[in-house]
A and B are shown apart, each in its own frame.
Chain A
Amino acid sequence: MLLLDRSTLVAFREIPAWMIGRRRRIRVDGASMLPTLEQGDQVLIDASLRPSVGDIVVANHPDRSSLLIVKRIAAFVEGHIVLASDNPAEGTDSRSWGPVDADSLLGTVTLVFGKPGALDKNPPHHRPPAVR
């Protein structure tokens, strides 16, 4: 019997999904998501997932629509989403610009290239659907 760990299973699902256009590849710039994401890390995002508290997501910046941001969902507040940095000393987030519109979310991070297990603390595919 072949036993594969969860990270390998995630990669087997996410990379083919990316290849057929069901995921987007995004590069991370900056240090506000350390230690989870480092400068230059590349991630895949899934736009079809309904995100939950604890997920890392990519969203449009609330003040600069051309700027993408990568943050972790801290809470849902009346249809809006509170985004937080993993490394608050190095990041502006909803503390500065308030909750963002749910529409501004582009997708949930499902895989970090070269970092198996980076999302294991809160893997987006392995828990019951979000309750809001």
Chain B
Amino acid sequence: MNLTAHLLRSLDALRPAPVASAHCDGPCGVYDPASARIAGEAVLSMTKKLLDLDMSAEGAHNTYSRFVAIKEEEAEKVKRELNILWHDYFKPQHLEQFPELHTTFWNGAKQASACKTSVSLDAANELMTQIEAIHNMFWASKGRDIPWYTAS
């Protein structure tokens, strides 16, 4: 090992340098529907909070608009995370194993939009059902049995 490499290695032991990826795939095979699930749970939580909000309370309109903004943002995040799985992780050969793949993702993305345009517990629960279907498909494609769970 030359001197520079030796010094850098010692330095890394003290303070590791951040890593920049120059990989064959951006996220380098690190995919997990958990990101979509967490965003979906946030949509569900915000929907419940909106439905429970006492609009006669002081500052309720401010709270209401904050909850709506967060719901909107998290629903958008669901769509983005689903798109990453759909476009980047799943490959044409997965269609043989999961002929319903495109429909499942389409439904999931559409349901995220439905959660944006409504304050509906049914819509938010349906979104979680759609994400669970994607979770099951994803882990089945890897031959792994990862049970569905939620944080809340």
Contacts and interface: CB of A to CB of B under 8 A. Distances in A.
A68 B17 contact: no
Given A42-B8, A114-B5, A61 B22 contact: no
Contacts of B19: 26-29, 68
Contact of A30 (B12, B17, B18, B28): B28
Contacts of A73: none
A68 B8 contact: no
Contacts, number: 85
* A-side interface size class: 20 to 34
Interface in A3-47: 24-33, 37, 39, 42-43
* B-side interface size class: 20 to 34
Interface in A91-108: 91-92, 96-97
Interface in B11-25: 11-12, 16-25
B24 A90 contact: yes
Nearest to A57: B20
Given A25-B17, A42-B17, A63-B27, A69 B5 contact: no
Contacts of A92: 23-26
Nearest to A69: B21
A33 B22 contact: yes
Nearest to A33: B22
A87 B18 CA distance: 22
A68 B23 contact: no
Given A113-B8, A114-B4, A67 B21 contact: yes
A52 interface: no
Contacts of A71: 22
Contacts of A97: 26
Q: Which 7 A-B pairs have the closest CB atoms?
A: A30-B23, A30-B22, A70-B20, A68-B20, A114-B4, A32-B22, A27-B17
18 contacts: A25-B17, A27-B19, A29-B20, A30-B23, A31-B23, A42-B17, A43-B20, A61-B27, A64-B26, A64-B27, A64-B84, A69-B22, A69-B26, A70-B20, A70-B22, A85-B22, A92-B26, A114-B2
